[in-house]
Structure 1
Amino acid sequence: MDTWVRFNAQSQAKERVFRAAQYACTLLGYGLQKGGASVEFLKTVKQLEAHMSLTRKLMRLGNSAEAVEAAKRAVHLSDCVLRLCLTVAHLNRAMYFACDNVLWAGKAGLLPELDQDKWSQRSFRYYLFALILNLTRDAYEIRLLMERESRSSHGGSKATWDSSPSSSSPLENLSHPSSSSLPLGAVSLLSRRVSRQFRLLVTVLRANPPLLLDLLKNTCDVFIPLDRLGIYPSGQGFVGACGLASSVLSILTIVHPWLKLKP
């Protein structure tokens, strides 16, 4: 098993390149269709996209084993939220790859009676659930880092705030029964709070490039199964752009391993 996982890891970069090429063809086909290209040329681009997709499915044979091994490692994480999200996400990826392998067999003619639409929908459901769990993990880590950053940056300012004569004035204005500025004060207080949280979010993401890249990659990827399943149809061009962007981000994490979010 370990030998196969090591061998499979070496082919991930090639699979990402083929994935980028596939979604580049999708985006190109959309642009050519909008530009009024000839039917023959559009057919050639779609055939190239289909060949790229089939090649990727061939290169992903056995990826289920790697996903199961990743789930086994995630079971031992100390953080219960990360343990749940990552373990279930890896298991869903394993099921997604298994369905994808069956689809490859159907497209290659090994299973001529296979209902390809049914298996495609099934694989995209597993893929979508895995991406939702990955985004949940990203949101959880962002929240933890924001709380840590907030404590470190404002921990020493509480006493100063409490001793300031004007520190309670916004609350006094809000609680004064005859104040005519109640709505404006509430909106101003909410606006300051949202602005503070946004600045904190930007600070956290700028300080953690792996988390930022993972968040962007998962956000781009999630629109693909949403479109394929008909939950949120976004169009061929948008799907192609999202797939190409997430593929480039994935290639970056392979070229520069320190950009890969761990665990």
Structure 2
Amino acid sequence: MDLVLPLLHSLPADRVPACGETTSRPAASALRPYVVGYAGFRTVVDGHLRRRILPITVTTVIVDFAGPGSWITGPRSGHHVHELADWRYGVAIGLTPAGVSALLGVPLPELVGATVSPSTLLGRRAGELADRLGSAPDWPARFAVLDDLLATWLVTGRAVDDAATRAWWQLQRPGRTVGAVAGGLGIGRRGLELAFRRRIGMSPGTVARVARFQRAAHRLGRPGAALALATDHGYADQPHFSREVRALTGVTPGELFAFLQDLRRPAH
């Protein structure tokens, strides 16, 4: 049930040379029904940095262990610019629909498009998480802390393995249409739409659209990547890809490509 990592939560809204570093790792195998994985980040510019928050299908827990920038952001289908993005040095944790139930204990539709403080949903655990991550010596140690700590927090009885959850996973992968996924689950397209409204808070078509963008963005961030990859990810042609990138991010494919190439460097 793996997703392509790293998922793209946000980008600098302005082009700043050498503005940051990232590294990522999938969660431990036992956690993957609930936790997609982890991304370590560090911002190395002075002053405040505006960020462009992008569409994503997972809930993201941002833990900033060097400042006040810890947040939980829900899945979303649109983009916006965060003028005072104060997360600087920390870890982002990607949660699946089952992970939101098992770790946060809230219905996923309540988080769609929302931004909340971790303490609101995690209580004292938010401080414990930041303290333990901040005291770990390096990224592998921090990711190991997350594997251990999140495993102890799981309340698996809260997680629901229903048709919407199974369809959500299938729609993260290339070549899956909403109709085919619904048919494979034996519930019909209208039934899947209703299940997503209750369980996910986004339509299956929107989830598929955002997942397709995330797969394309991952490819664009690879070393040696090229822009001419539209049909590899289910876009009809390059103009279709260009329209989708503009609609979902507010920037051109060329601008997105430049930002992604800037960011894909290992953190130390």
- TM tier, smaller: under 0.3
Whose helix proportion is higher, 1 or 2?
1
**Bigger relative contact order, structure 1 or 2, given CA contacts below 8 A and separation 6+?**
1
TM-score between the two structures when normalised by the length of structure 2? 0.26
Larger of the two Rg values belongs to structure: 1
TM-score between the two structures when normalised by the length of structure 1? 0.27
